[in-house]
Amino acid sequence: MAETLTGFAAAPGRAYGPTHVVQSHARKVARRLIDASQRDAELKRLEQAADALARSLKDSADALASQAPSKTHNLAEALLTSQRAVLDDPVFIDGMRDAIAQRNLCAEWAVESTLNDLQRKFRRLADERFRSWFHDVQGLADELLRELIGASPTRYLQCDEGDIVVAHSLTISDTIKLIERGAAGFILERGSLTSHVAVLCRSAGIAAVTGIDAAAEYFGEDQLLMVDGDKGLVCSVVQKPDKTRQSESFEETLPAPLAPDGSSVTLRANLELRLDAQWARSQGTQGVGLWRTFFQYIGRSDLPSEHHLATLFGRVVEDFAPDPVHIRLLDLSGPFEEHELPLELRNIGPCRGIRLRQHRPDVLITQIRAIVRAATRGDVRVLVPFVTDVSEMLWVREQVQSACETLNPGAQVAVGAMIEVPAAVLSIDAICDVSDHLAIGSNDLGALLLGYGREDPRPPGPPHAALIDAIATIVRAAQRRGIAVSLCGELASDLRGTRALMATGLRHLSLTPRLAPALRFTLHEMWRRSQRAAQSRSGQA
């Protein structure tokens, strides 16, 4: 039975997966009164723990500084620096020293007692934002307790890719480690919207809900949960997995994706950095609906060679076989800094999608040749981004044909247009005539149709009717021409729009694999309800 708990919407997005519970060390605080002869030893333990924590904060900041710069890393580094400043603050550490020296509390109790004093002071602050900073002080105190207790930080940081991390509270460096290990979502007992976990999750695009009381005690390990960071909800959609059924994989617990009319729906993976077919399959996707090849160009100074791309494409196509892999030609879409691009692609100005052919047709031809070479390994198809007119598609088709003739005679590589610019919707019939299939890019289409920036927050509420209408127009045109059409923008993972998407007739959806299980459950629930409605109608008749 589904159960829903309400907390704070700390970082937007939705994630679905098995829980990894990080047990809190802070709960096991010893409360011991000491006598005068033990005071110096306790003060020394506190100093040593504070020194060890200062060193570990510095090491974590240095480790982050030595890695490739990213928004999340820079943010974490800044947060670690501010934590070191709090640790040095007399209000923090002197309170603890006094509690040991004057009230004869052991070091752990002194930390806890000082924290309680600070909490009372924070509560008196008029500004909610300042009050919420207490959570970060609390996190630091938790870390100090961990040093005092001697708990190993790595002991509980063994999360797997796709896990939902459940914790009492988390340190900055632990949060970063868990994000890097592939945590798909966070549920925390403590933490406000401005707490470091929330800030880091928002920056990394990972859903987080805070303020779920006793979560770390309430949820078991490997419980399947959905985290809705937009609404601040945690939902257990299925029972705890039966531990006796060890052979059952996560994939096998997922219901078949069916539309409300009972027709089957195909869910495919959107690939960026993680090119792992086994993982994508385990999340309930089949094949690749969109491979954003942009990531093969970012963070390097030279252009990838045809050989490099052909080897990579071939491996991925083989891994996903017999399912299709749709490889998108390079779309220089942000956000990125100019210096992150290969030298030869810098300073060509804003140049989305297929418009690159006007500046560097050779870059696209190299990709096309590599795709054609990979076609010997499985079902590979080309996606052309940002198509606005027929001539762009004809150029790509010509390049694909010529590459097939020279590199892979007899090969047939399908070429599809991405429909993500309103101009393409207006000339959809003509574009269908030169396309073997279509892929709808709802991210750009929505932004361009409704006039918001890709970096702006999405319009609140369910997907706009104009976007759904545009999608329905595209689907009808594809059906008239008998060509396949899929949706590969983030709209596929916005469960508020699933029913409307199904009503347009779309039956191929592509999304980031870790969001596919939630979509499969949503589709299943919709299908079940429509079955029940049909049964009660036939009962009444």
386: Cβ–Cβ under 8 A, 6 or more apart, which residues? 331, 352, 353, 354, 355, 418, 420, 421, 444
Question: And the tokens for 334?
Answer: 């942000």
- Choices 125-133, 141-149, 228-236, 435-443; region in contact with Mg ion by CB under 5 A: 435-443
Say whether residue 189 binds Mg ion (CB under 5 A). Answer: no
- What is the C-alpha to C-alpha distance for residues 445 and 440, in angstroms, rounded to an integer? 8
Chain residues in the site for ligand PEP (CB under 6 A): 290, 292, 333, 420, 441-444, 488-489
Helices 134-149 and 107-123 pack at an angle, to 10 degrees, of 180
User: Distances in Å between the alpha carbon of 29 and those of 21, 26, 32, 55, 108?
Assistant: 19, 6, 9, 23, 6
Q: How far is the CB of 417 from Mg ion (least distance, A)?
A: 12
User: Which one of Mg ion, ligand PEP, none interacts with residue 292, CB within 5 to 8 A by kind?
Assistant: ligand PEP
> Which residues sit opposite 267 in a β-bridge?
509
Say whether residue 492 binds Mg ion (CB under 5 A). Answer: no
Q: How far is the CB of 318 from Mg ion (least distance, A)?
A: 27
Q: Which is nearer to Mg ion, 109 or 386 (CB)?
A: 386
Say whether residue 420 binds Mg ion (CB under 5 A). Answer: yes
Give the strand order in the sheet containing 224-228.
3-6, 233-236, 224-228, 14-22, 164-167, 185-188, 207-210, 8-11
Binding mask 444-463 for Mg ion (x = CB under 5 A): x-------------------
Instruction: Output the furthest CA–CA distance in the chain (Å, rounded).
Output: 90
296: Cβ–Cβ under 8 A, 6 or more apart, which residues? 304, 309, 312
Q: Which is nearer to ligand PEP, 130 or 295 (CB)?
A: 295
User: Distances in Å between the alpha carbon of 522 and those of 136, 490, 499, 515, 516?
Assistant: 36, 16, 9, 11, 10
- Choices 112-120, 293-301, 433-441, 517-525; region in contact with Mg ion by CB under 5 A: 433-441
User: Which one of Mg ion, ligand PEP, none interacts with residue 442, CB within 5 to 8 A by kind?
Assistant: ligand PEP
Backbone angles phi, psi at 224, to 5 degrees: -85, 120
Q: Which is nearer to Mg ion, 189 or 444 (CB)?
A: 444
Q: How far is the CB of 282 from Mg ion (least distance, A)?
A: 27
Q: Which is nearer to ligand PEP, 236 or 443 (CB)?
A: 443
User: Which one of Mg ion, ligand PEP, none interacts with residue 290, CB within 5 to 8 A by kind?
Assistant: ligand PEP
Cβ-contact 488, 270 below 8 angstroms: yes
Q: Which is nearer to ligand PEP, 60 or 442 (CB)?
A: 442
Q: Which is nearer to ligand PEP, 292 or 357 (CB)?
A: 292
Q: Which is nearer to ligand PEP, 170 or 396 (CB)?
A: 396
Question: Of 232, 441, 446, 517, which one interacts with Mg ion (CB under 5 A)?
Answer: 441
DSSP per position, 392-403: HHHHHHHHHHHH
Note the residues at the interface with Mg ion (CB under 5 A): 420, 441, 444
